[in-house]
Structure 1
Amino acid sequence: MTTRNSKLKWIIWSVGLCAYLIAVVNRSSFSALGPVAQEHFSAEATTLSTFVVLQLVVYAGCQIPVGIGLDRFGVSWVVATGLAAMSLGQLALGATESIPVAIAARVVMGAGDACIFTSLVRLVAEWFTRRQTPVVNQATGLVGQVGQLLAIAPLAALVGAAGWFAGFAALAGFGAVVMVLVALLLRDGPGVGTLLERLTGRNRVARPAAAPESVETGMLIITEVLPVVGPGSSGVLPALRSLARRPGIRLAFWIHFATMFSADSFLLLWGTPFLTGGLGYPFAAAAGVLNAAVISSMVTAVLFGPILSRFARHRVRMAFYGVVVMLGSWAVLLAWPGAAPVWVAGVVAVVMGAGIPLSMIAFDVVRSHAPARQLGIATGLANMGGFTAALVAILLIGVALDLQGSGTPETYDLGSFKVAMALQFPLWLLGMVMILIERPKAQRDLDRHTRRP
């Protein structure tokens, strides 16, 4: 019952998906509420950016501690802690009109959010085979994007109908329900007890044993590395230095950096203001464009999973050319004379949405290059890439709008938004250059540790 071929793994994965769904809704709760939040807190664009930027700073900064926690304590503890933090943060955000309190609440939410996705990637690695992993990771991203859909029109409607506090209190309540499911059902790996069983002493196994990966694709994962923490550990800093020296881990970071940040900055905050305040679309059209990005990410996740599983050696090229297409589509949108038609923004949204499943390639790269005993912290390092780029983009856009005197809904204009949104281009170019630099190094390093039949 506890083998990787067991039906149990699908139950475990489903519980993890529920936690990830809640995390995405919490993370994206300002996606359709940007103007409403500005009115609620009487905030300008830079201040509004700060809400999301600080959340992402904490998210990115917590990836290493979360990775260490995963390697030391296991998935269920980390996920339960994250859900508790997000619920508390949403309650505080809903109950206040104070900007400092609201920012603190978003920081707490960022810390909680940081615990979820990396844990789910680790969970998939423990329960599924190497050939299954790309497909399951893409399916994970697909289901997670349902949270983006819920955070656009439904959450805006809930807040509009029930009020600011009721909307955010409902999110906190859903998080608490999922936390109970985690305690009752989630198992870190085959043979490991649930959180409730371990707390009551019925099963004291805290995490799965670090066993060598089975070789299913001709790749050999290095396992002769000490754990990051715990008995016989290497220590955190030596582990970080060791991972940073691995070109495959650096490559994963830059893939995540380049593919994900635009969709995140668009869906987390600046999509609705840009579409309504800049391009002048009605809210219904703007919501349609946002939904197009989310639906695109879901559809492409279904397509990319089997493709990546079959053509694993071409995965980095797919990520790189995806970034090229993304950059080109935004160039067309911003260079369009005046306000581009809705269909043009929709095409850009579809291309941008595909970047989310493309970013999952980073975690397949990590699994090919990271030592098994350091998989948690290595996954956290890669996951920092896209969110680091996203927080930089979000902050730059807000500052650029304020510097042009267009930092509030009353002063938004298309020209200012075009200048602000163009600040994404240097980030794409940086990511593309670093992918080109690190890819051949990573391939040579992998070849040295590859066992071929």
Structure 2
Amino acid sequence: MDKQNSKYRWIVFTAVLFTYFLVVSQRTAPGLITDQLMKDFNVSASTIGLLTSIQFLAYASLQIPIGILSDRYGPNLFLIAGALLNGLGTLVYSFAPNEFVLLVSRSLVGMGDATIWVNLVLILSQWFRVKEFVGLLGLAGMAGSLGFLLATFPFSAWIAHTGWRTPFFTVGVLLVLCGILLYVVLVKQPNKRFKEDNLVTVQTEQKREKTLLMLKRIFSDRQAWATFFCHFGLVGTYVGFIGSWAVPYGMQMYGMTRSEVSQLMMIGLVGAIVGASLTTWIANRLESIKRPYMVVHLVVFVSWAMFLLFSGKPPFFMLIILFFIIGYGNGASALTFAAVRQSFSMREVGVVSGFANTGGFISAILLPSIYGKVLDHFQLVSSGVGYFYGFIIPVLFSILGLMGGFLLREQRKESSKASGLSV
């Protein structure tokens, strides 16, 4: 039976998306306990920024290697290993006795997380038809946004009730179990149900000869850089801020409790859920990725600029709107990978997806660390001044995202012709 016409593909889809949902929750959940970590371990804002950045550094540095290896050897085992590694890192985090162990654990989480999205894209490409792909990316984006949503009010309430270690331990156990589930769903059952596809072997032999040439072509390709900067401007600004400084910002600038800030973050995540589904739907209806994506980038840039216009503290009703819009942009970033799938051959989707994803998480590495240094620099003046200057960073990053949108081309048919494979 053909994988792309089987009912079993929806079991694969569900298992992969549930794992992605849990993994994404651990990108920003540590941001809920930023102030507690500073007190418990007696560390500075710069150290907290490093904790966030080290996770995203591990993630970003592995995107291209994971893309190459997944294109060559297939995505299943890498996705399984990533879930197990993410779970192990989260378990270590829950037992951490000092900041060094915290750094090691977040590195493990970042390494595991690095395998997830690229291989999710490849698995969806293998199990679903091209016409289904953009819509399913929207659903995957919604799953990720729900993961972020878990790491707001529900996780915050859980932390308030039990302390921060128990929730992280529980999620770590669940992620390890997800790794076992993925082995059954992606490897064991398909080996019984479907005949082995020789296409992977053929492509592997071709790629062993052409990997360096392929990388050279991708690194000099306008479309690849366009997707890189699109992701840089939307994902890193949102994830970097929410995952590190959103909670202290709300507590210090607006006098909110942790629970209240987590509810504000939920508004952004509702925006992300809407953005993932609505923007991919609009792109399908318009048969255009560039036009709706350009609008998203422009609106997100204006939203970050509003923080500067109001000296780092916009009116509260406007803050709610801004969080929703910025979250919407993060959800809409699924269009980055729709553009990759549209523009490049299946033989290159993994590595180009990894390259584009690197852009988002390089900005997620830079933002928390730079923001922390800005706050440390201005702490003797006032926290308000520090946050105001800190918002210059996402404004500049979103300009790069807007530039990526301008560079993006709708479709390059010559890419598929050159590769000898259809996209």
TM-score by length of 2: 0.91
1:121 counterpart residue number: 121
**Counterpart AA for 1:309:** N
**Conservation of the 8 A alpha-carbon contact between 2:228 and 2:355:** yes
Matched, 1:427 2:397: yes
* 1:28 alignment partner, SS class: helix
1:321 counterpart residue number: 295
**Conservation of the 8 A alpha-carbon contact between 2:32 and 2:156:** yes
**Conservation of the 8 A alpha-carbon contact between 1:249 and 1:370:** no
Matched, 1:209 2:184: no
1:267 counterpart residue number: 242
2:329 counterpart residue number: 355
* 1:54 to partner: Cα distance: 0.9
Q: 1:245 to 1:304 in 2, by over 3 A?
A: same
* 1:77 to partner: Cα distance: 0.5
5 Å-filtered alignment, 1:331-342, equals 331-336=305-310, 339-342=313-316
How many angstroms apart in 1 are the aligned matches of 2:85 and 2:196?
A: 22
**Conservation of the 8 A alpha-carbon contact between 1:132 and 1:309:** no
5 Å-filtered alignment, 1:177-188, equals 177-186=177-186
Q: Deviations over 1:42-71 (max 9, x none)?
A: 211110010110110110111112112212
Q: Deviations over 1:281-301 (max 9, x none)?
A: 333432221000001111222
Percent of residue pairs identical: 22
Q: Deviations over 1:18-58 (max 9, x none)?
A: 11011111212213222122222221111001011011011
2:228 counterpart residue number: 253
**Counterpart AA for 1:112:** G
**Counterpart AA for 1:260:** V
1:292 to 263, 267, 272: 267
1:218 counterpart residue number: none
* 1:233 alignment partner, SS class: helix
**Conservation of the 8 A alpha-carbon contact between 1:257 and 1:387:** yes
How many angstroms apart in 2 are the aligned matches of 1:351 and 1:245?
A: 33
**Conservation of the 8 A alpha-carbon contact between 1:83 and 1:113:** yes
* 2:244 alignment partner, SS class: helix
How many angstroms apart in 2 are the aligned matches of 1:323 and 1:232?
A: 35
1:135 counterpart residue number: 135
1:343 to 317, 323, 335: 317
1:90 counterpart residue number: 90
2:99 counterpart residue number: 99
How many angstroms apart in 2 are the aligned matches of 1:448 and 1:118?
A: 20
Q: Deviations over 1:104-149 (max 9, x none)?
A: 1111110001111111111111122222111110111102211111
Q: Deviations over 1:148-203 (max 9, x none)?
A: 111122223333333333222111111112112101112xxxxxxx24776xxx68
Matched, 1:403 2:377: yes
Q: 1:241 to 1:300 in 2, by over 3 A?
A: same
Q: Deviations over 1:328-387 (max 9, x none)?
A: 122223322684332111100111011122211111111122222122111111111111
5 Å-filtered alignment, 1:17-32, equals 17-32=17-32
**Conservation of the 8 A alpha-carbon contact between 1:79 and 1:119:** yes
1:35 counterpart residue number: 35
**Conservation of the 8 A alpha-carbon contact between 2:25 and 2:150:** yes
Q: 1:292 to 1:429 in 2, by over 3 A?
A: same
Structure 1 unaligned runs (5+)? 187-193, 212-225
* 1:252 to partner: Cα distance: 1.4
* 1:239 to partner: Cα distance: 2.2
1:81 counterpart residue number: 81
Q: 1:207 to 1:255 in 2, by over 3 A?
A: farther
5 Å-filtered alignment, 1:66-77, equals 66-77=66-77
* 2:4 alignment partner, SS class: coil
Aligned length: 419
How many angstroms apart in 1 are the aligned matches of 2:154 and 2:142?
A: 18
* 1:418 to partner: Cα distance: 1.0
More moved, 159-168 vs 144-153: 159-168
**Counterpart AA for 2:322:** V
1:154 counterpart residue number: 154
How many angstroms apart in 1 are the aligned matches of 2:376 and 2:364?
A: 19
**Conservation of the 8 A alpha-carbon contact between 2:32 and 2:258:** no
Q: 1:36 to 1:43 in 2, by over 3 A?
A: same
Q: 1:232 to 1:405 in 2, by over 3 A?
A: closer
**Counterpart AA for 1:429:** I
How many angstroms apart in 1 are the aligned matches of 2:75 and 2:411?
A: 32
* 1:53 alignment partner, SS class: helix
Matched, 1:418 2:408: no
How many angstroms apart in 1 are the aligned matches of 2:124 and 2:243?
A: 26
Q: 1:246 to 1:369 in 2, by over 3 A?
A: farther
Matched, 1:175 2:152: no
More moved, 382-391 vs 327-336: 327-336
**Conservation of the 8 A alpha-carbon contact between 1:139 and 1:305:** no
Q: Deviations over 1:367-425 (max 9, x none)?
A: 1222221221111111111111121112111111111126xxxx962221111122222
How many angstroms apart in 2 are the aligned matches of 1:20 and 1:292?
A: 21
**Conservation of the 8 A alpha-carbon contact between 1:93 and 1:105:** yes
